[in-house]
Amino acid sequence: MKNQPKSSLVILSFFSIYVIWGSTYLLNKIAVTELAPFMLAGIRFFTAGILIFIIAKFMGISLKLTRKQFVNTIIAGFLFLTIGNGFVVWALKYVDSGFAALEISAQPLIVLLLMRVFQGKRIRWMSMIGVLLGFIGIYLLVSQKQVLNQENSVLGMFMIFVCMFCWGYGSIFVSRADLPKNFFVNTGYQMLSGGAMLFLGSFVFGETWVLPSDWSSDVQISMLLLVLFGSIVAFTAFNYLLKFVSPEKVATSTYVNPLVALVLGWYFLGEIITVQSILAAVVLLTGVYFINSKKKLILFERFKK
């Protein structure tokens, strides 16, 4: 059939959102040990945005958009990339990459609560159980002595929570905002605007800039992978899957990314995986499953009849 996806592309796309997105925590952690966080994130997204526009031009895709769409892409870029990603990179100066990935896995919980506050959306029983498990999982994660004893770890954890709220509000905003229909163009404008605002933030905070020629080889490789694969390939794969595969299957990246980040952080950076972290991961990801699940809780449905 004409619209049937190629199985090979579907497999490669799932690999991208599972492994590549999971690896971005490691890559950012490596880079931020040497580079200023806003500078790092700004270079990543601004460069990726330019490359996306170049690719779009070669593909004959129009980059035109209305004034309202342009303003909305700037708002989305600010929420998703300037704060939603820039603060995560900053937080990685103070917390392990695996820890950050686990904390961010609670994102669906934040989105659900924000939808309740801003849209009055009713929370189902399954989701309520997920919220409860999510809070328990977060407590188990952030209450560890090994984590609390690290210098500025509390600041890092707080910054990640700010990122999660901005990303959650951004998700609600883009669901209703007038944005470019072509996802490639939409992503490009968000990355350019988000990157430009990260540059501005870098200037405001007085970050020291380092030329790429002075970066270590590890940082150069990490930045190259973040731009080409973490920003362009993974986002393209994500949108490709949304077109051909059910959202529930695409959402499974929520469960896999933290596990990939934990393993890579342990293997390459020697980050310690505690028993409490594993328990927190199980509880958190179970809570995320309940929040994402569309199945009804039979026991409660019987009580309602």
> Tens of pLDDT along 200-227?
999 999 999 999 999 999 999 999 999 9
Contact yes or no for 113/161 (Cβ under 8 A): no
Outline where the chain has alpha helix (H).
7-15, 21-32, 37-58, 67-77, 86-91, 97-104, 107-119, 125-142, 145-148, 153-176, 183-204, 217-225, 234-244, 247-250, 253-269, 275-292, 298-304
End-to-end CA distance of the chain: 44
pLDDT value for 288 = 86
Mean pLDDT of the chain: 88
Q: How many domains does the chain have?
A: 1
Whose tokens are 């990260």? That residue is: 198
Using the predicted structure, report yes or no on whether residue 300 has a pLDDT greater than 50: no
For 5-9, 227-231, 239-243, which range has the lowest pLDDT when averaged over its residues? 239-243
Residue 130 lies in a domain: no
Is residue 64 exposed (0-12), middle (13-18) or buried (19+ Cβ within 10 Å)? exposed
Residue 253 lies in a domain: yes
Residue 285 lies in a domain: no
pLDDT value for 1 = 44
Percent of all residues in the chain with a pLDDT value above 90, rounded to a whole number: 62
Average pLDDT over residues 36-63: 95
Q: pLDDT class for 112, splitting at 50, 70, 90?
A: confident
Using the predicted structure, report yes or no on whether residue 198 has a pLDDT greater than 60: yes
pLDDT value for 120 = 81
Residue 293 lies in a domain: no
Whose tokens are 């380092």? That residue is: 210
Contact yes or no for 144/277 (Cβ under 8 A): yes
pTM for this one? 0.87
Residue 81 lies in a domain: yes
Copy the structure tokens of residue 194: 């988000």
Residue 27's SS3 state is helix
pLDDT value for 304 = 36
C-alpha R_g of the chain:
20
Using the predicted structure, report yes or no on whether residue 301 has a pLDDT greater than 60: no
Residue 188 lies in a domain: yes
Residue 134 lies in a domain: no
Average pLDDT over residues 109-138: 86
pLDDT value for 292 = 74
Residue 226 lies in a domain: yes
Can you give the residue range of the structural domain that contains 39?
7-125+151-276
pLDDT value for 305 = 35
pLDDT value for 303 = 32
Q: pLDDT class for 261, splitting at 50, 70, 90?
A: very high
